[in-house]
Amino acid sequence: MRPSFRSMTRTSRRRPQGGIEELPSGSLRVYAYSNIDPLSGKKHYLRELIPAGTPNAEKEAEKALRRLLSQIDERRHPTTNATLDQLLDRYLETLDVAETTRMMYAKYCTKHVRPFVGRLEASSVDVEALDSVDAELRRCRIHCDRSRGLVDHRTPRPHQCDSRCRPHRCNSLSSTTIRHIHFVLRGAFEKGVRWRCTWICPTPFSRSAARSRSTGRSGSRKDTKTHQQRRVALDPETVTALTEHLERCTARCEALGVPLTRDAFVLQNSSQPASMCGPSRVGSGMVGEGGDHAPGLRGVGGGG
């Protein structure tokens, strides 16, 4: 690399704040000192490249240098080289949602965002890059490489393939999952502007993911959106299923010589009333008991 042949200073007492370097390829690299990166502790520079062969390359480089210095003066520039991975990590740490929701968002980012744009600097991720990610989300939920011979296995565990393991077909992620990913990306970039990791928010997505302010361990019920008492409406078929379930549980307790208490849950892991099954197991539990109306049981807390 050839030495810098031009630099600009603000005053004679300060060291050069920017300059122009000629690269071996003939291109001109414009740089301007910004600040100390708060994450790495190193000097942070804004840079712009003027390709070789550009008409009036030196004048264009001087314009670019003045533009970069103007951005620094007006504080319209990122103050760090943080990657999108780092921005997402910090955003998820400060996001005010339930722990189960935070884990869900982190899983979506790990599977569907970080492999594609996570290593890029947050300030360099633009609308075009995010549109490419969005197109990939709608193309294939496992992000296959379109090679032949892929199989959609019936389970991720070791198993013997049978008729349930079928040739792979690309399917889009659900609209709900895509909205959640949009919500996380938009929130991260909006925070990034405030934290000066980037100076624009390139996400054209709408804020549509629901938020919950409750916290708790996995398996706990979230608070309602209006923070009001949860009321569950049961249709006659669900009432019939619950009545049959209560009769079975009563008969089993009598056979074991254990009383069925009034504070027992509809589905629980043991005879202890406090061991409630997680919400995700309610449907499978009622199907296992022969019921066909498990969706109507969502949010049912206890039996009686």
For 164-202, write each residue's pLDDT tens digit.
899 999 999 999 999 999 999 999 998 888 877 776 777
Question: Please, where are the H alpha helices in 52-174?
Answer: 57-73, 84-94, 99-112, 114-117, 127-139
Is 107's pLDDT higher than 50?
Answer: yes
Rounded mean pLDDT, 19-27 = 87
Are 102 and 92 a contacting pair, CB within 8 Å?
yes
Are 284 and 216 a contacting pair, CB within 8 Å?
no
**Better-predicted residue by pLDDT, 229 or 115:** 115
The lowest-confidence range among 79-83, 170-174, 295-299 is 295-299
The lowest-confidence range among 22-26, 115-119, 296-300 is 296-300
Q: What pLDDT is stored for residue 6 in this prediction?
A: 47
Q: pLDDT tens digit string along 132-155? A: 899 999 999 999 988 888 898 888
Are 187 and 91 a contacting pair, CB within 8 Å?
yes
> By C-alpha distance, which of 300, 271, 270 is closest to 286?
300
The model's pTM: 0.52
Three-state SS letters, 152-177: ECCCCCCCCCCCCCEECCCCCCCHHH
Q: What percent of the chain has pLDDT over 90?
A: 21
What distance in Å separates the CA atoms of residue 29 and residue 82, rounded to the nearest whole number? 21
Q: What pLDDT is stored for residue 10 in this prediction?
A: 42
* Residue 7 pLDDT class (50, 70, 90 cuts): very low
* Residue 19 pLDDT class (50, 70, 90 cuts): confident
**Better-predicted residue by pLDDT, 126 or 113:** 113
Q: What pLDDT is stored for residue 276 in this prediction?
A: 64
Q: What pLDDT is stored for residue 279 in this prediction?
A: 59
* Residue 1 pLDDT class (50, 70, 90 cuts): very low
